[in-house]
Amino acid sequence: MEKPLTKNFKTDGSVCSLSEYEKRGGFQALRKALKMPPGEIQQMVTESNLLGRGGAGFPTGKKWGFVPMGKDAPRPKYFAVNADEMEPGSFKDRVLMEGDPNLIVEGTIISSYATEAQAAYIFIRWGYKLSTERMNKAIAEAYEKNYLGRNIMGSSYSLDMYIHTSAGRYMCGEESSLINALGGKRGIPRTKPPYVVTCGLWGKPSVVDNVETIANVPHIVSNGAKWFKGLSLTEEGGTKIYGVSGKVKKPGWWELPMGTAIGEVIQEYAGGMNDGLQLRGLLPGGASTSFLTEEHLDTKMDFASMAKTGSGLGTGTITVLDDENCPVGMVNNLESFFARSSCGWCTPCREGLPWVSRILNSMEAGKGEISDLEILREHTVFLDTGHTFCALAPCAMNPLRSAMQYFGDDFKRHVTEHRCPWRD
């Protein structure tokens, strides 16, 4: 099967230099793109049905279509690549940046050209040191070869690209918080409308796209929308990097056709559960997705199919819960992460998530009370979209709500037995 995203990865973990990348066909897509009007590139991306790989699955071409274009558009315009990957359980963007930074650079240049951006920022998570190092080198080499800077490849298009290291907050992975942080403000989200595509960085039109999304763009330009759709098993175009972590035989990542079933990823590629363990549940795409169980293993891992289960594709990196692990403990771990991550702007998230986290801690310590369960349940109802300022708290409630649905007895036992039953 074709693996456009990872075909340049080296097995020894080292990375291609820019000239090696060129020899393997790199920057041909850019050459081709610069001869097309930006609108045509947008058209191609729309037809390819590339959905945003950050977790929300918004059609990329459609997002670009909202950017005001032409000589009367407000300027300067900006492009930001969301490399702030902090969704617990996700590591696909790191894999891409460490494995083929040149692809990300080329994809960003083409995408910036398609939206008439003058500057592109790679907003990269502080902890991703190796990625930062490799991306820096790729950018420097691109400048040398005039793939960046003034009049790229002799065209009239100029672009500057910068690495911006995030100060390290999960909230900055959200597009409007990212724009705020990039602009030197507190990394809190913005109210929408207006969306960042019209009023973004410093009030100017800005596009924010995920690393994996961008990685697909050069291939779409080179090979066309039809080819891209052909890679997938469903309507949603392209390949996807899926991952599995947890007590499976071969935890890791694999580039597979979009729409590969959950069970196939876990059994075929991750080798199934470790000996002696059973699958209890799984988070399909990061801590913000709801638990699924073995009844969902046939579900195709694309955005639409996953949404039908009540959970979501998210980042497509699966975390597996085995039957010897305490679900309450797992949820406690996740909720303490979310509580720590709250930006503190809106009341329900700022006060509610720490409360939830303290209750779960207390349950794990054997000090839970029956009324706690009602309080937890209420939070899963009240921390809903529109009730909070952004999606962080509603997403934080996904694992809790689904865990109480599927593993409700475990929660009750913690309270009635005054201990965690999984610990002796």
The footprint of another protein (CB under 8 A) covers 169, 186, 190-191, 193-194, 198-199, 202-203, 339-348, 350-355, 358, 362, 369, 371, 375, 378, 382, 384, 386-389
For residues 70 and 205, is the Cβ–Cβ distance under 8 A? no
Which residues lie below 8 Å from residue 244, measured CB to CB, with a gap of 6+?
A: 250, 251, 252, 253, 265, 266, 269, 270, 317, 318, 319, 320
Q: Tell me whether strands 78-83 and 279-283 are parallel, antiparallel or unpaired.
A: unpaired
Please, what is the angle between helix 327-341 and helix 392-406, to 10°?
170
Cβ closest to another protein, residue 32 vs residue 358:
358
Measure the CA–CA gap between 388 and 307, rounded to whole angstroms: 21
What is d(CA 244, CA 334) in angstroms, rounded to the nearest whole number? 17
The separation between the first and the last C-alpha atoms of the chain, rounded to the nearest angstrom, is 48
Pairing of strands 160-165, 119-124: parallel
Residue given tokens 């390290």 in the structure block: 168
Considering the complex, what minimum distance in angstroms separates the CB of residue 407 from another protein? Answer: 24
CA 48 vs. chain centroid, Å, equals 20
* 75 or 249: CB nearest another protein: 75
Shortest Å, Cβ 144 to another protein: 34
Nearer to another protein, 227 or 345 (CB): 345
Residue with Cβ nearer another protein (187 or 243)? 187
Q: How far is the CB of 242 from another protein (least distance, A)?
A: 32
Q: How far is the CB of 216 from another protein (least distance, A)?
A: 31
For another protein, the closer of residues 258 and 339 by Cβ is 339
344 or 408, CB closer to another protein? 344
Provide, rounded to whole angstroms, the least separation between the CB of residue 213 and another protein: 25
Residues in the chain: 424
Minimal distance, residue 420 CB to another protein, in Å: 19
